Amino acid sequence: MKTGIHLTDNVGNPDPVTADIPCSVVRVRELAATTNYYVRAPAAADAQYLRLAGEESVFPAPPGSLFQTGDIAGYTETVAGSITMGKLCEP
């Protein structure tokens, strides 16, 4: 398991959520629970899904595989402003 930080905002393209180690699941959650945000997966062009402030988003690897270090698990983008999210990569 590895913890980390994921920063996201509403400027430009959605921000990629990357794996920090080989893992089966990447989780992100806003640290302060102040701002709603969108998730998209597996590609940035996929339909967005609204998550409420403080909700966890879980990005599982495809069945039978692992995300490798640096792989993009999904994308996030805030409704407004920028936020800092905690990130957890689980083997």
Q: What is the pLDDT of residues 20-64, one digit of tens each?
A: 999 999 999 999 999 999 999 999 999 999 999 999 999 999 999
Q: What total number of domains does the chain contain?
A: 1
**CATH classification at residue 72:** 2.60.120.10
The answer to whether residues 9 and 90 touch, using CB atoms and an 8 Å cutoff, is no
Which residue segment(s) compose the domain that 39 sits in?
A: 2-90
CA distance 10 to 15: 9
The answer to whether residues 69 and 26 touch, using CB atoms and an 8 Å cutoff, is no
CA distance 67 to 36: 26
User: What per-residue confidence (pLDDT) applies to 1?
Assistant: 96
User: What per-residue confidence (pLDDT) applies to 83?
Assistant: 97
